[in-house]
Amino acid sequence: MTETRKVNRPAPLKNVSAFATLLETMVNREPWLPGLAAFFSPPGWGKTESAVYGANRYRAIYVECGLFTSARSLLSDILKELGDPTPRGNIEAMKNQAIMLMAADPRRPLIIDETHFIAHKRFVDLVRELSDKSGAPVVMIGEERLPFLLAAFDRVHSRVLKWLPAVPCDAEDFALLAANRCEGLKLAPDLAKAILERTNGNTRRIAINLAKVNEVALLTGSKVIDLATFGGVQAIDVSPNFTPRKVQ
């Protein structure tokens, strides 16, 4: 990565550990094995945080897809992460340059986040070609439909060595996350249980509620926050449920 992303002492959650193990497996795989892997789950389960931590640990190239990502823009982002500040040339030339640079350090993984944005497009085969021709591992990260989208492209799907589904936060993960995000505070068991249940283990929603715990502690001066102090079950942030106004 051209710039090391800041990671604030990530809690050793199961997804963080599992993704680090996945990267290690892919880096150390036998050279005759395919080099693709997939890490997938519903939104908010901590995939990107796991990826950023893993990328820093394994010096990975990290790029992120979006709604308007094209073959050219993906290659441009990859080349910038590989050290070329101004990628030039047609798509074929950029692809060959990326392969050459990746082949120079084949133990350095490429992580492509939000891959579901491109998994239904024909140029997703570019991902397979980068790995096949460079020997470097490529890990695709996306939403839970990623495996189904890739199934339409057998040349890619059949080269996925490891399929790793992320898991929702459980009680053990919640305790680690709370200790990491709410230093010096204690969450009463009733509040911890309510947040975990109401968020369905969604790491992002849990983090939002833990930020609110810090706000409540600051306002009340309390070091132990229970459900009543937090504001009750109704104060727990879950998916927004807005009711549209009727148009007269």
pLDDT digits (tens, 9 = 90+) for 43-88: 999 999 999 999 999 999 999 999 999 999 999 999 999 999 999 9
**Is it the case that residue 11 has pLDDT exceeding 70?**
no
Residues 195 and 168: their CA atoms lie apart, in Å, by: 13
**Is it the case that residue 3 has pLDDT exceeding 60?**
no
Compute how many other C-beta atoms are within 10 angstroms of the C-beta atom of residue 53.
Answer: 24
Residues 129 and 143: their CA atoms lie apart, in Å, by: 22
Residues 106 and 61: their CA atoms lie apart, in Å, by: 11
- Torsion angles phi and psi, residue 24, rounded to 5: -60, -40
**Is it the case that residue 247 has pLDDT exceeding 80?**
no
Give the chain's domains with CATH numbers.
Answer: 14-165 (3.40.50.300), 171-235 (1.10.8)
- Local confidence band at 5 (pLDDT 50, 70, 90 cut-offs): very low
Please state, rounded to an integer, the average pLDDT across all residues of the chain.
92
What percentage of residues in the chain have a pLDDT greater than 70? 92
pLDDT digits (tens, 9 = 90+) for 197-234: 999 999 999 999 999 999 999 999 999 999 999 999 99
pLDDT at 241: 54
Distances (CA, A) of 139 to 62, 127, 209: 10, 9, 30
Long-range CB pairs of 238-245 (<8 Å, 24+ gap) are 238/198, 238/199, 238/205, 239/205
pLDDT digits (tens, 9 = 90+) for 126-163: 999 999 999 999 999 999 999 999 999 999 999 999 99
- Local confidence band at 4 (pLDDT 50, 70, 90 cut-offs): very low
Compute how many other C-beta atoms are within 10 angstroms of the C-beta atom of residue 140.
Answer: 26
